[in-house]
Chains A and B, each alone.
Chain A
Amino acid sequence: MFKRIATSRKARLSFDFEGHRLEAEDGDTVAAALLLAGERVLRSTAVSASERGPFCLMGVCFECLVEIDGIPNRQACMVKVLPGMRVRRQRGAARVGST
């Protein structure tokens, strides 16, 4: 659905999404990289568990929440991909403490 508009010479890097290795370019946000990889659903809501994905891509709508390196509820559109980053879908409310 999405493709890169320009051929860039930025460094390639890889990160982990739900146990799969995905490619990105240096400077990509997590949301952009996941959309490019064809991922549409990044979270399920805390109240009704309905599926959501990136919408505004500018830090406002909070629909693209993911867990990054163990930290819940990160905005995928506001975080740049780093090599080896471990990203998971945010399923429902964040779980912290020993629930």
Chain B
Amino acid sequence: MAVQHADTIVVGGGLVGAAISYGLAKIGQGVIVLDEGDVAFRASRGNFGLVWVQSKGDGMSEYARWTRRSADLWPEFAGELAGETGVSPHYYKAGGVHTCLSEEELQARTNLIERMRQVHGPERYEARVLDRRELAEMLPGLGEAVIGGSWSPHDGHASPLHLLRALHAGLLQGRGRYHADARVTAIARDGSGYRVTTAAGVFAAERVVLAAGLANRALAPMVGLSAPVSPLKGQILVTERAATVLPMPTAFVRQTEEGTFLMGDSYEDSGFDTASRPNVMAEIARRAARTFPFLRKLQVVRAWAALRVMSGDGFPIYEQSRTHPGAFVVNCHSGVTLAGAHALALAPMIARGRLDEEFAAFSAGRFDVQAHRDVA
């Protein structure tokens, strides 16, 4: 089989890889997307669909600013994507609420919001803590159990599935090509670029971007990088459709464009297990029903679990290889939130072959064990 060439090869066709590929195709780059296919864990398929700023980057200001930059780009990104492909990602910058059910939760939230205000700057951040009465005016049917929460005007939500479909349609409209069932087995230098061997043939490009989620762990060392990421399971329940009642998403319950209610937020370290478990499902349903008691009237029609791609500190990894110029690794667990930035800000950096200086903070070098020695 003849070797296929492009400017850039992106390994991974989920939300991260597809957003970068779409961004590259949009600026005229030839892109080959190598996707593992339906056997992939594909966190994109299990995503809750928040575009979320208010709590992101506690402990890493670069991540807080990058997240905000993506949220700022989202309206333009969503509009262009829908216009070009005819597939709307159902994005709404409606603001978003994190609800609290106990004094302890509200106190922790208040402290977090104050820390984030310092990170972003009070003028720019705009999120604030709201009491029960203020929240009840914003959220019809809010349960008595909700004692307060936090709200940000920069938050919103989108459909992960529509977004993924739109990104794939968009990259194919440009100079993007997509190959399914193309699990990568080897990456080798080829002149000034790279030759990538897969189950679906051999491909070559000047640059290679690893956006393969959990599979990056094995792929990154092939280009002198590391991607110490692990699975963190999350479970979601979804109800039947109902007439629109919620004007904005909350961190645990959101109503989709179609009318279903997604209920979520669980964190389990259980390896690569993607089964739904009744004990966790019950806890998710209990919290959702306390937050919005009207949910008790609706039937849950599906449940699923997916694996977040988590680094040791929960922050993303963006890094260019020092030993392999033109090779990049990208890992995050916010494929929806960061899609705007990945398509419109990160892709141009990759096209020119160099990440901005501020991306040094996202290097996986931060996980290296530091040698501590007592000085005599």
Contact = CB atoms under 8 A, between A and B. Distances in A.
A, B from the same assembly? yes
Contacts of A95: 242-243, 245
Q: Is the interface of B mostly helix, strand, loop or mixed?
A: loop
Interface string B240-262: 11111110000000000001000
B25 to A, nearest CB: 34
Nearest to B299: A73
A96 B294 CA distance: 6
B297 A71 contact: yes
B199 interface: no
A72 interface: yes
Bin chain B's interface residue count.
10 to 19
A37 interface: no
Interface in A36-74: 46, 70-73
B295 interface: yes
Bin chain A's interface residue count.
10 to 19
A96 B241 CA distance: 10
Given A72-B297, A73-B299, A94 B141 contact: no
Nearest to A73: B240
B58 to A, nearest CB: 32
Given A71-B297, A72-B242, A97 B259 contact: no
A72 to B, nearest CB: 6
A38 B243 CA distance: 29
Given A70-B297, A71-B297, A72-B298, A94 B242 contact: yes
Contacts of B141: 96-98
Contacts of B240: 73, 94
B292 interface: yes
A56 B221 CA distance: 57
A78 B353 CA distance: 61
23 contacts: A46-B259, A71-B297, A72-B242, A72-B297, A72-B298, A73-B240, A73-B298, A92-B243, A93-B241, A93-B242, A93-B243, A94-B240, A94-B243, A96-B294, A96-B295, A96-B298, A97-B140, A97-B141, A97-B245, A97-B292, A98-B140, A99-B244, A99-B245
Interface of B: 140-141, 240-246, 259, 292, 294-295, 297-299
